[in-house]
């Protein structure tokens, strides 16, 4: 096990030593090479079996490099989608951002590296227009992150009682919008003979609930099926597709956790003892998009702090 002392890591950060970088889309180092380069970066002349302790939450031993790569991100106006867009922009990539919400402020990088299209993701014409405009501006599309979704606690209830217009609207946003983005982005990936997609579902579709949001959980169950189907259809063309199943995370979707006490109550049910963050989910997405995951496709990745273990 390779664990670094917090004090050592803080010293390293303040010294200005550059961290090992993983370039997306290029030949990746082996695990052994990455391990040794990380040890060297950390300034540790230690036997491989030496163990010192650190809480790695928030520590970054690898930087992704998305230079010359173009990513479509839905739900980019806030929450997990915004976090993914920010991380890719900060890593040198270009991002085509789609959301019904306005463009976030203070995005990193140069404005020339992003295109923001505000609109309704259930409108196929709008989705196709923005993605094609981005492909024309940036010259390619490499990645797609389908993040946008809705969870309406007030209207989305048991399927035995809910208004079916609400059911249809939730499905249009949570599932059909992903069909629109895939149909618009995949032709550009096929042209390049390369690509990767990640689609956001939820662990709620893997379990029942006495107070359900049935349209949300059922539509999100479809996300996994969509992802696996795309993975099988496109594997021979060098295009990967994976799904992420988040557990409890502090995002705008969970505004109801509006006090430290409420957050602590949720965290007490999670084996890792904390609620997830947008960065936790964005980290998982960037890994699956990057070439570090080049042999991973058709996977449903649960990111829930161990909640499903209970």
> Is 126 noted as a catalytic residue in this protein?
no
Please name the helix (run of DSSP H) or strand (run of DSSP E) that holds residue 296, with its range, or none: none
What pairs with residue 303 in β-bridges? 246
Residue with tokens 């010359």: 68
DSSP letter at 112 equals G
Render 178-192 in DSSP notation, one character per residue.
HHHHHHHHHHHHHHH
Per annotation, catalytic residue among 64, 116, 143, 216? 216
Residue 203, classed as helix, strand or coil, is helix
What pairs with residue 241 in β-bridges? 197
Residue with tokens 């890792």: 272
| Dist. CA 214–CA 204, nearest whole Å | 9
- Classify strands 63-65 and 21-23 as parallel, antiparallel or unpaired: parallel
CA angle 93–132–195, rounded 5-degree value: 50
Helical residues (DSSP H) of the chain, grouped into ranges: 6-15, 31-41, 79-90, 124-138, 164-171, 177-192, 214-234, 260-267, 278-289
What amino acid positions are annotated as catalytic residues?
216
């Amino acid at each position: 096990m390779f664990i670094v002392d917090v004090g050592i890591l803080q010293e390293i950060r303040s010294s200005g030593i550059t961290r090992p970088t993983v370039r997306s889309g290029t030949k990746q180092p082996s695990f052994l090479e990455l391990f040794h380069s990380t040890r060297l970066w950390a300034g540790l002349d230690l036997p491989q079996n030496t163990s010192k302790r650190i809480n790695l939450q928030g520590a970054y031993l690898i930087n992704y490099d998305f230079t010359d790569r173009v990513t479509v991100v839905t739900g980019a106006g806030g929450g997990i989608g915004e976090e993914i867009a920010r991380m890719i922009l900060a890593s040198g990539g270009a991002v085509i951002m789609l959301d019904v919400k306005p463009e976030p402020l203070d995005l990193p990088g140069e404005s020339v590296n992003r295109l923001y299209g505000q609109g309704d993701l259930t409108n196929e014409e709008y989705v196709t227009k923005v993605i094609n405009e981005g492909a024309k501006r940036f010259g390619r599309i490499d990645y797609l992150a389908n993040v946008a979704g809705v969870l309406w606690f007030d209207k989305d209830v048991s399927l035995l009682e809910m208004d079916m217009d609400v059911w249809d609207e939730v499905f249009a946003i949570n599932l059909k919008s992903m069909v629109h983005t895939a149909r618009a982005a995949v032709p550009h990936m096929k042209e390049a003979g390369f690509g990767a997609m990640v689609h956001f579902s939820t662990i709620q579709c893997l379990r029942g609930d006495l107070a359900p949001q049935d349209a949300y959980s059922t539509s999100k169950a479809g996300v996994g099926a969509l992802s696996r189907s795309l993975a099988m259809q496109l594997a021979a063309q060098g295009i990967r597709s994976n799904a992420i199943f988040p557990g409890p995370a502090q995002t705008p979707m969970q505004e109801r956790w509006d006090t430290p006490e409420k957050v602590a109550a949720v965290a007490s049910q999670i084996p890792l003892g904390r609620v997830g963050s947008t960065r936790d989910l964005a980290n998982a997405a960037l890994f699956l998009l990057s070439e570090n995951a080049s042999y991973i496709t058709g996977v449903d990745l649960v990111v829930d702090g161990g909640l499903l273990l209970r």
